[in-house]
Amino acid sequence: MDSKDMGSMDSTSPGTPSPATPLTASGSSSRRPPRKSTLTQQQKNQKRQRATQDQLITLEVEFNKNPTPTAAVRERIADEINMTERSVQIWFQNR
């Protein structure tokens, strides 16, 4: 190929989208509107609740007994340590 022919070659790589395909912030080319938050203003302003040392000890003990507790066991743990069942579930998932 001559050097004069090089100027006519496309300079984009095969994996690069063409400029005619606009991308959204997520990187897709769909035209879906952004999702609206379902949080209330109060929920947005709340700081995340951290587990206390006593709660963590109880969670660790329970995890050592059973790393995958049932919903009923999570509910019992939540009642014992004054947390929501959902918070207990998330703690076990992240452990």
Q: What is the pLDDT of residues 33-78, one digit of tens each?
A: 888 888 888 777 888 889 999 999 999 999 999 999 999 999 999 9
95 Cβ partners below 8 Å, 6+ apart? 59, 63, 67
d(CA 37, CA 44): 10
Please name the fold of domain 51-94: Arc Repressor Mutant, subunit A (1.10.10)
Which single residue is written with the structure tokens 């999570």? 74
Residues 74, 92: contact at Cβ < 8 Å? yes
What is the pTM (predicted TM-score) of this model? 0.56
Local confidence band at 32 (pLDDT 50, 70, 90 cut-offs) = confident
